[in-house]
Chain A
Amino acid sequence: MAKRRSRFTNNRALQSATLLVVSLSVALAIWLAIVAIADLPAFILPSPGQVWERFLRALADGSLARHMWVTLQEVLLGLLVGVGAASLLGYALAKSRRLERALAPYVVASQSIPIVAIAPLLVIWFGPGLLSKVLICALIVFFPVLINTIVGLHSVPQDLRDLMRSLRASRWQTLRLLELPAALPVFLAGLRIGATLSVIGAVVGEFVGADRGLGFLINVGRGEYDTALVFVAVFTLIATALVLYGLVVLLESRLLWWQRVNGNRT
């Protein structure tokens, strides 16, 4: 039984890998075709070969790794600060209707201002270094994680709350034994969104004012008509976001293993 199931999952993994290779090849072929047919100069649309060459060069002189490390730091620290603040405030808001009513207008209003509009202010106040970028990342991560924390905590079944109450569980025990595990699926879905948004936040911050990072690299490439470099930076950003997303998915499958058992049955 177990053997059969594992072969089945292997098949599925193979299938999705094949699908990925096929779709990437098609995209590459279209790109090549456009370059060949339209005969565009490299500073408008470089060919895949030119981008690859530029990638190797940026890798060799260490500039790509250096800028990527800067961006990654901003992304991860921003994620940490944003998720920390959002889950703490989310818990408080989920626990107190009054607090939720008092603060909800501000939380929603903050979302009607695009992050690009606030980013210059943060750079002015906190300088062009790491701190302003971390804050921008944290701000953009904050909202989805906050909402999902609240929704997750509200989704805890009332009967289970009554059970914990009847056992005279303390607030901490209720949090640890009931609320955390029950809210985790929704919370992690918020984290998944937050992880990719944090990458956007870092780039926005670097666009506004920075002397390093992948966003800065894009600005440099644009200024020097080094379009291949822009492509390299964009692809690196995509890869970073994908890896972060993948890590959260991995975390989900580790922490939510019990949901898979449910899925098998139904």
Chain B
Amino acid sequence: MSKKAAPLLEVKDLSAAYRDRGGELCVLERISFTLQRGQFVCILGPSGSGKSTLLRVLAGLLPAKSGFVKLNGAPVLGPQHGVGLVFQDANLMPWRTVSQNVGLPLEVNVSENGASESRIKKMLGVVGLSRFSQSLPAELSGGMAQRVAIGRALIQEPDVLLMDEPFGSLDAITRERMGEELLRIWNLEHKTIVMVTHDINEAVYLADRVLVLSSRPARIKVDTPIGLARPRKPTLRYSKSFGQLAAKLRKAIE
């Protein structure tokens, strides 16, 4: 194909539709992109543009109408092993403790490599919740709950982490802190991340690359790399190059 390594994720001419009373509602139209291993990609778009739908198709939760998604060269026809999902609200089970929530995937897919106890312990350390392993979700703040959700998504060591506006329901300050936290975890685990967001600054600050979707039916309007050096510091948000990138994306959305 090319000199580059085989892509981790390949999306080709992907269309998807929801069926409702009036018939089919086309949500995604001929979307194509490829993703290299280790990349952090943000998908930006106006609300209702089908960002979440795209993520659901990538996760194998929603079938494509036409086109395909390939993960590690194999077509995605249903939920895949190498995919971790993080939802908009933490989506924890309120009757399970923090460590039981993080360990849920190991309970469903009985683990092959290593005892789950030690893996849960390690993961709680990664997301910084070791002290809260026996707490219930109701006792956690929104940011902590979302960190549990990230731990739960990472514990099976997925190839790709799909995040659907994971910090959308958090307040602005917690949100920025969680961004830092996510970058720290990303550095630690070096996963490929696809994150849906409607926050332009968040996208520029976190991503290597930003895809901008048009309003429905969604197409890829802009596909732009974010060349800002890493590691990124919070002061970066006030730099000129950051502002230029954000302005460019803002224009692309409108």
User: When chains A and B are docked, how far (Å) is the Cα of A166 from the Cα of B138?
Assistant: 24
* Chain A, interface SS category: helix
| Alpha-carbon gap, A166 to B88, bound state (A) | 15
Is A11 part of the contact surface with B, judged by Cβ < 8 Å?
Answer: no
Q: A167 with B108: in contact, given A160-B91, A181-B95, A262-B94 (CB under 8 Å)?
A: yes
Contact across chains for B138 and A173 when beta carbons are under 8 A apart = no
Q: Is the interface of B mostly helix, strand, loop or mixed?
A: loop
**How many residues on chain B are close to A (CB under 8 Å)?**
24
Q: Which residues of A contact B85 (CB under 8 A)?
A: 162-163, 166
- In the bound complex, CA of A166 to CA of B87 (Å): 12
Indicate if the CB atoms of B136 and A166 lie closer than 8 Å: no
Q: Which residues in chain A, 208-266, are within 8 Å of chain B measured between CB atoms?
A: 258-259, 261-262, 265
8 Å CB interface, B72-97 against A: 78-79, 81, 83, 85, 87-89, 91, 93-95
The answer to whether A39 has its CB under 8 Å from any CB of chain B is: no
- Give the distance to chain B from A169, nearest Cβ to Cβ, in Å: 5
B83 with A166: CB separation less than 8 A: yes
Within 8 A of B (CB), among A166-191: 166-169, 173, 177-178, 181-182
Among B81, B87, B88, B138, the most chain A Cβ lie within 10 Å of the Cβ of B138
Partner of B93, one of A160, A167, A259: A160
Of the listed residues B83, B105, B108, the one surrounded by the most CB atoms of chain A closer than 10 A to its CB is B108
Any A CB within 8 A of the CB of B109: yes
**Smallest CB-CB separation from A256: which chain B residue?**
B95
B6 at the interface (CB under 8 A from A): no
Contact B93 A261 (CB under 8 A): no
Q: How far is the CB of A166 from chain B (nearest CB, A)?
A: 5
0/1 string, B105-130, CB within 8 A of A gives 1: 10111000000000000000000000
Binding site for B on A (CB under 8 A): 157, 159-160, 162-169, 173, 177-178, 181-182, 258-259, 261-262, 265
